[in-house]
Amino acid sequence: MYDIKPVSAAETNSDIRILLANPRGFCAGVDRAIKIVELAIKKFGAPVYVRHEIVHNRYVVEGLEAIGAVFVDELDEVPADAPVVFSAHGVPKSVPAEAEKRKMVYVDATCPLVSKVHRAVERHQSSGRHILMIGHEGHPEVIGTMGQIAEGSMSLIETVEDAESFMADDPAELAYVTQTTLSVEDTADIVSTLERRFPELTNPKKEDICYATTNRQVAVKEVAKQADRVIVIGAPNSSNSMRLVEVSEKRGCSARLVQRAADIDWAWVKGAKTIGITAGASAPEVLVEEVIEALKERYNANVELVTTAEENVVFKVPPILKDIT
C-alpha cells in the first residue's frame, strides 16, 4: 500500500506521540460532491463526465474513474449526449449556459457555501457596487466566482500589498467577497487594510471562509502548539490543505504536505517526539489511516485525538439525483 523506507536500528521502535487533529479531512461540500458523481453514474450509467477534478485529491479522482467517471478540462471535450458534472469549486456562468445551449444533461456539484458567495456577488452587482475578490489567482473557485458577473465588475486582491495599492473609481460603492478556503489570519489582514482605506466598504453578512476551513485551521493550531512536526495530508493544488501547512509553520512548528504515506520524508521526521497529523477537506480518512500505519511501522506510537469542534453539517444532493439511493 505504501513504501517502507529503511531507518536506523536505533530509531526503529522508539516512542512517539501522535496528535490527530479533529476536525480534519472531508467536509460536507466534498462529501456531497463525491456522492453526486457516484449517484450520477448510478442514474445515467458510465461514463459520466466531470469538468475538472471534482475535488482536489488524486486518490478520490482515481477512485471515481474506476467506477466510470471521466475527468476533462473543458466542456467541449464532453459529447453532447453524455451527462456532465461540474466540480465542487463552482464554474463561471458561461459553462452551464453552454451546456444548455448544447441541450446537455448536467449536474452542478458546486459546494453550497461557494454558491452563497456567487449569490452575494450578483446582489452586489445589482446594487451597483464594484466587488473585490480576495483569493488566489487561477484557483478554480476564484475563476468560477469572478465568472458570475460581467468582466471588469470584480477585482482580484491576493495580498495586503494588493489591498494597499488598489485604486477605486468610487470608494463609496465597494464590496468584498472571499474564496472559501483561505487562511483566516491572512484574510483578516487583507480585510483590515481594505476597511482602513475604504471605510464605506460593504462586508459579507457572514464570513465567506467556510466553517470547515476555519475549523481545520483552529484544530491544527492546537496541534502545532504541542507537536515537533505536523504532517498535512492533502494535494498541492488544494488551497485549504496548503493553508494548513502555513498555519502550522506560523505557529513555529515545521509542517509538510504529503499526498500518501509514501511521500513522508523520514529524515525530516527523525528526532521528533510528537507528530501532529491533519488532513485537508478533500483528503479521505483512509489516507490518514495509511500515514498512521506508516508511523506505527517505525515507532511505538500512541495516538491522541485533539478535538476543537464537532461537525454535523450535511448538504442535500440536487433534485435531479434525489430519487437515486
Reported as a single tens digit per residue, the pLDDT across 214-240 is 999 999 999 999 999 999 999 999 999
Ramachandran area for residue 290 (φ above 0: left; ψ -120 to 50: alpha; else beta)? alpha
pLDDT band at 12 (very low <50, low <70, confident <90, very high): low
Cα dihedral: 121, 123, 126, 130 (round 10): -40
CATH code: domain 14-26+211-307 is 3.40.1010.20
Q: Enumerate the CATH 3.40.1010.20 domain ranges in the chain, comma separated.
A: 14-26+211-307, 113-197
- Got the DSSP string for 146-174? HTTS-TTSEEEE-SHHHHHH---S-TTSE
Taking only the tens place, the pLDDT of each residue in 34-91 is 999 999 999 999 999 999 999 999 999 999 999 999 999 999 999 999 999 999 999 9
**Residue 205's pLDDT is what?**
79
pLDDT band at 110 (very low <50, low <70, confident <90, very high): very high
Q: Is the pLDDT of residue 9 over 70?
A: no
Q: Is the pLDDT of residue 294 over 70?
A: yes
Q: Enumerate the CATH 3.40.50.11270 domain ranges in the chain, comma separated.
A: 28-111
**Residue 7's pLDDT is what?**
38
pTM of the shown model: 0.91
285 is catalytic: no
The Cα–Cα gap between 234 and 256 comes to: 10
Neighbours of 263 (CB within 10 A): 15
Region 164-186: what's the mean pLDDT? 94
- Provide the 3-class DSSP secondary structure of residue 236: coil
Q: From the candidates 141, 158, 195, 222, which is the catalytic residue? A: 141
Closest among 22, 25, 24, 11 to 301, alpha carbons compared: 11
**Residue 209's pLDDT is what?**
83
CATH top-level class of 113-197: alpha beta
Read off φ and ψ for residue 229, nearest 5 degrees.
Answer: -140, 150
Protein fold of 28-111 = Rossmann fold (3.40.50)
